[in-house]
């Protein structure tokens, strides 16, 4: 099956509306202010509860500092949940790549503060004596209400943090890592009884009670609405089904999906969804796949490379298989665009969202250029030929394995350095919006070259498929 491209009519306008990008910038700024304000509020509540006065003695100072680090840890833990709750305005304005980086930073910071809280509180209750720490820790765990649950929650968070370290992630299947990562929600939930029963700061004043219950309720509601409710509603409403599975290469297939009221599914070229194919064992494991064709209101297409157990099963999907989806997600769309001219740079199966963008973006002939790197035959070669003829897309194929670990170019690029090759292919790259998708390390190399070419950071739109 081949994709039929819409006639090159209304999409050829070159007037780009920069208002969505400006709106997103404001939302990112307000989100940063909100996180900073939450830490200020928590610190104020600690001060109002006598935090400074309690620093007068060694033991009381340890306990007071432990309360403060615990409050900061709890606040950031809930912020972390909100960051990855798929809240649409945040998702659209920040994008999954940046959200994941911030989520990781906030998570490790919260975890470190939580460990400090445990040590400082225990040390303070032990009257500042290190030798009394084990016995005091045992007494606090066994005798204080909610502490056993809090300890279990801490163990869940330790599991999440350990498996989020890059060395551990590289040894785990994505499906296993994703399942383990869900224990973070259990860890957060198990911490609440401890805060209610033994955490004086939660109920120390009306303001403190209102603040903490509001934050807890917001985090819980965000997860229930955006991570559970909306995906279930959309999957039921659209009743998505597999209609075709088409080989693209020896280890790559395209899957076509259709359903009811597809024109009402708010998905854009360049976005990805999280897919569950109800085809037997393993259907509970979600897999993020980008659209490889612009949505046409009738069907969706994804293109999947065999990279593991989940992706390997896609090739054997039967026609009519039901599909559950979450999303759409991702900011690799027309939304952040501010320039008439664009550059699309992708490697391997990372070319899939760029293929959709090449079809879905508005641009005049010659204003869009695509760089595709890979080791085998180029994906979608025939479709890119059609786009070149009908839309004026300029396509450059960069074959071969990476010529050096710090280079993003293939062996066929010759002896010139990365920056020289980039400027030879796209001399005006600094005046374009650049869309970049590929493996994490490769994308980082391209990003460095784009920065050297003086492409402003705000015009580099990245999505990686490393996890």
Domains annotated for the chain, with CATH where assigned, are 19-232 (1.20.120), 342-464 (3.40.50.80)
List all residues 6 or more positions away from 64 whose beta carbon is below 8 Å from its beta carbon. 46, 50, 51, 54, 55, 124
pLDDT at 184: 65
Whether 149 shows a pLDDT value over 60: the answer reads yes
pLDDT at 9: 39
Whether 13 shows a pLDDT value over 60: the answer reads no
User: Residue 373: which H helix or E strand, with range?
Assistant: strand 368-374
**Which residue, among 411, 352, 360, 358, has the nearest Cα to 385 in the 3D structure?**
358
Cα–Cα separations (whole angstroms), residue 399 to 388, 440, 447 = 19, 19, 19
pLDDT at 222: 93
Pairing of strands 252-258, 342-347: unpaired
125 vs 170, higher pLDDT: 125
CB atoms closer than 10 angstroms to residue 266: 11
Contact 341, 368 (CB under 8 A): yes
CA–CA gap between residue 354 and residue 409 (Å, rounded):
18
Q: For residue 244, what are the β-bridge partners?
A: 256
Which of 118-127, 150-159, 294-303 has the lowest average pLDDT? 150-159
Whether 396 shows a pLDDT value over 50: the answer reads yes
CA–CA gap between residue 149 and residue 156 (Å, rounded):
11
pLDDT level of residue 10 (50, 70, 90 thresholds): very low
CB atoms closer than 10 angstroms to residue 223: 18
CA–CA gap between residue 88 and residue 324 (Å, rounded):
19
Q: Global pTM?
A: 0.83
The mean pLDDT value for 160-175 works out to 62
Is the Cα torsion angle 157, 158, 159, 163 positive or negative in sign?
positive
Give percent of the chain with pLDDT exceeding 90: 47
pLDDT level of residue 12 (50, 70, 90 thresholds): very low
pLDDT at 2: 41
Which of 141-150, 345-354, 424-433 has the lowest average pLDDT? 141-150
Helix (H, G, I), strand (E, B) or coil at 35: helix
User: What residue has token string 């798929």?
Assistant: 86
List all residues 6 or more positions away from 104 whose beta carbon is below 8 Å from its beta carbon. 164
Radius of gyration of the chain (CA): 25
pLDDT level of residue 176 (50, 70, 90 thresholds): low
pLDDT at 183: 57
List all residues 6 or more positions away from 397 whose beta carbon is below 8 Å from its beta carbon. 372, 374, 378
């Amino acid at each position: 099956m081949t994709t039929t491209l819409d006639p090159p009519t209304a999409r050829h306008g070159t007037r780009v509306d920069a208002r969505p990008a400006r709106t997103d910038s404001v939302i990112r700024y307000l989100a940063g202010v909100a996180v900073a304000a939450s830490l200020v509020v928590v610190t104020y509540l600690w001060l109002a509860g006598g935090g400074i006065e309690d620093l007068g003695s060694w033991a009381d100072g340890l306990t007071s500092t432990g309360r403060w680090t615990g409050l900061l840890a709890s606040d950031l833990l809930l912020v972390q949940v909100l960051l990855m709750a798929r809240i649409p305005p945040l998702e659209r304005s920040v994008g999954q790549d940046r959200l994941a980086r911030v989520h990781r930073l906030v998570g490790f910071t919260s975890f470190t503060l939580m460990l400090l809280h445990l040590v400082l509180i225990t040390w303070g209750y032990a009257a500042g004596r290190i030798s009394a720490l084990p016995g005091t820790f045992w007494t606090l765990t066994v005798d204080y209400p909610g502490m056993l649950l809090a300890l279990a929650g801490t163990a869940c968070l330790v599991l999440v943090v350990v498996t989020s370290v890059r060395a551990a992630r590289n040894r785990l299947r994505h499906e296993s890592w994703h399942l383990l990562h869900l224990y973070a929600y259990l860890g957060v939930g198990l911490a609440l009884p401890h805060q209610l029963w033994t955490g004086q700061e939660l109920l120390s004043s009306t303001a403190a009670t209102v603040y903490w219950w509001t934050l807890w309720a917001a985090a819980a509601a965000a997860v229930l609405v955006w991570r559970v409710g909306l995906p279930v509603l959309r999957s039921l409403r659209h009743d998505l089904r597999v209609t075709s599975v088409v080989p693209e290469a020896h280890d790559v297939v395209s899957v076509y999906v259709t359903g009811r009221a597809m024109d009402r599914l708010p998905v854009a070229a360049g976005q990805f969804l999280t897919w569950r194919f109800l085809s037997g064992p393993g259907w509970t494991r979600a897999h993020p796949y980008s659209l490889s064709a612009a949505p046409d209101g009738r069907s969706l297409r994804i293109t999947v490379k065999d990279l593991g157990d989940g992706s390997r099963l896609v090739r054997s999907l039967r026609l009519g298989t039901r599909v559950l989806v979450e999303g759409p997600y991702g900011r690799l769309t027309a939304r952040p665009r501010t320039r008439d001219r664009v550059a699309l740079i992708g490697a391997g199966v990372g070319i899939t969202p760029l293929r959709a963008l090449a079809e879905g973006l508005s641009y005049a002939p010659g204003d869009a250029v695509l760089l595709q790197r890979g080791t085998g035959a180029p994906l979608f070669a025939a479709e890119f030929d059609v786009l070149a003829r009908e839309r004026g897309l300029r396509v450059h194929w960069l074959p071969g394995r990476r010529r050096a670990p710090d280079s993003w170019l293939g062996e066929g690029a010759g002896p010139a350095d990365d920056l020289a090759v980039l400027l030879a292919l796209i001399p005006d790259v600094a005046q374009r919006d650049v869309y970049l998708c590929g493996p994490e390390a490769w994308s980082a190399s391209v990003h460095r070259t784009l920065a050297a070419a003086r492409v402003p950071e705000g015009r580099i739109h990245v999505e990686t498929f490393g996890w």
